[in-house]
A = this chain, B = another copy of it.
Amino acid sequence: MEEFKVTPWNVEGEVDYEKLIKQFGVKKLDVSLLKRFEKIVGELHVFLRRGVFFAHRDFDKIIDDLENGKRIYLYTGRGPSGPMHIGHILPFYFTKWLQDKLDVNVYIQITDDEKFLVKKKLSIGDMDKYSMDNILDIAAVGFDPDKTFIFRDTEYIKNMYRLAIRLARKITLSTFKAVFGFENSSNVGIVFYPVLQMIPCFFEKNRVLIPAAIDQDPYWRIQRDLAESFGYLKSTQIHAKFLPSLLGPAGKMSASKPESAIFLSDDPETVKKKIFKYAFSGGQPTVELHRKLGGNPDIDVSFQWLYMFFEPDDKKIKKIEEGYRSGKLLTGELKQVLIDKLSEFLEEHQKRRKKIENKINKFMYDGKLASEMWSKTF
C-alpha cells in the first residue's frame, strides 16, 4: 500500500522522500558528490547544504564534464496555471545561482499548452495572462538575458514540432499510459504533450542538467531511453523536495488553496496575516508549556521555510533551531523572523520584476540566446 503518490500533475499524501528515491529509481545526492561540486563552484548553495535538492540522475556526469572543462547547459520550466508562489520560484533561484557559478545557457520552458490541457476551467485567455505574469516573475529572478531563453510552447512549437514527431513516432501510447497514468478518458492533447517537455533536452549537444521538483522525473526517464538513438546525451537531473504548505509539513503549497501559500505578489501585510494565521506550528499550546517543553522545528513550517530557503546563514539557523527546541524562542517570535525575511525577499523580487518588465523581450525574442533559438528548427 502506498501512503503517497507523486505524478507531474498531482502530489497526494505525505511524501516519504527516501521511499520516492527507490520508487523512481533515482540516486541520493550524497556528500562526496557535493564536495566535488563545491570544489568546482567554490561554495554550496543552501539548497544543496540543506538537502532541498536531495536526489539526482547522473549528476556525477555533469561534475565529470565540468571537471574536464566541457560545457553543459541548464533547462527548467513552469506550467502557468495561476500566479506563482514561493514554492514555484524555488528551483528558479537555484538555477540562476547555477548560471552565475557556471556561466552557462539556461532554457526555461513555459508549458502553457500543458496547463491548458489539464485544467478544464482554464480559458485560453487565462493561459495567456498567467504565462506573461509567470514569465515576468521568472525573469525577475535575475537570469543573464543573453544566456537565457524563456519560451512558451504555443509560440515555440514550430521550432520544436519536427523533432517532436520524430520522438513521438518512437513512443507508444502504452508507454505514456504506464509512465504518466493516462487513461482512455484522457484528452488527445495531453497524451502527446509530454513529448514537448522532452525537446529542450535536445537543444544542445552538450549535456543538460535539469534542476526541478522531483514530480517531473517521469519525463526525463523517457528522454533518457531515447536520447542516444537520436545522437544526443541522456539528460541529467537534480531533484528538489517540495516546499511544504503553510498548513503543515505533509502537503505541498497549492495555488488553488491561497491560505496554503505565499504568492510572489503578496504584500507585507498579507504575508504577516497569513503566517500568523495559517503557518503550522511545532510550538506548545501555551507559552508556559512552550518554555518548559520547547517547540518542534521538524514539523514547524515557519522553521522549515527558514531552513530550506530564507535563512541561508548556517550559524543563524542553528541558533534559531536551538532556541526553538529549547523553548527560548516562542512561536510568535519564530514567525516574526520568517515574516521579516519573507517580506524582504518579496520586496526585492517585486522591485526586480518591475524593472525587468520592459526588458522581457530579451529573454523571449531578441537577446543573444533567444535570437539564436528563434533561427533554429529542431
Stretch at the interface among A156-164, A203-211, A213-221, A316-324: A156-164
Give a binary string over A188-227; 1 marks a CB under 8 Å from any B CB, 0 the rest: 1111101100000000000000000000000000000000
Q: Is A31 an interface residue (CB 8 A)?
A: no
A142-192 interface with B by 8 A CB criterion = 153-155, 157-158, 161-162, 164-166, 168-177, 182-192
Question: Is B189 a contact of A195 with CB atoms below 8 Å?
Answer: yes
Q: With the chains together, A335 CA to B209 CA distance in Å?
A: 67
Question: Is B188 a contact of A113 with CB atoms below 8 Å?
Answer: no
Copies of this chain: 2
- With both beta carbons as reference points, the residue of chain B lying nearest to A170 in the complex is identified as B187
Q: Secondary structure of the A side of the interface?
A: helix
Stretch at the interface among A7-15, A116-124, A341-349: A116-124
Q: With the chains together, A169 CA to B183 CA distance in Å?
A: 14
- With both beta carbons as reference points, the residue of chain B lying nearest to A167 in the complex is identified as B189
Number of interface residues of A (CB under 8 A): 38
Given A113-B165, A117-B165, A124-B166, A173:B186 Cβ within 8 A? yes
Q: With the chains together, A158 CA to B164 CA distance in Å?
A: 13
Question: Is B189 a contact of A169 with CB atoms below 8 Å?
Answer: yes
A47 CB → nearest B CB, Å: 34
Q: With the chains together, A155 CA to B377 CA distance in Å?
A: 10
B-chain residues with CB within 8 Å of residue A187 when the two chains form the complex: 168-173
Question: Is A189 a contact of B174 with CB atoms below 8 Å?
Answer: no
A230 CB → nearest B CB, Å: 11
B-chain residues with CB within 8 Å of residue A117 when the two chains form the complex: 165, 168-169
A-B contact pairs, 16 of them (CB 8 A): A116-B169, A117-B165, A154-B162, A154-B165, A157-B157, A157-B158, A158-B158, A170-B187, A171-B189, A172-B187, A173-B183, A173-B191, A176-B188, A188-B191, A188-B194, A189-B195
Which residues does A use to contact B, with CB under 8 Å?
Answer: 113, 116-117, 120, 124, 153-155, 157-158, 161-162, 164-166, 168-177, 182-192, 194-195
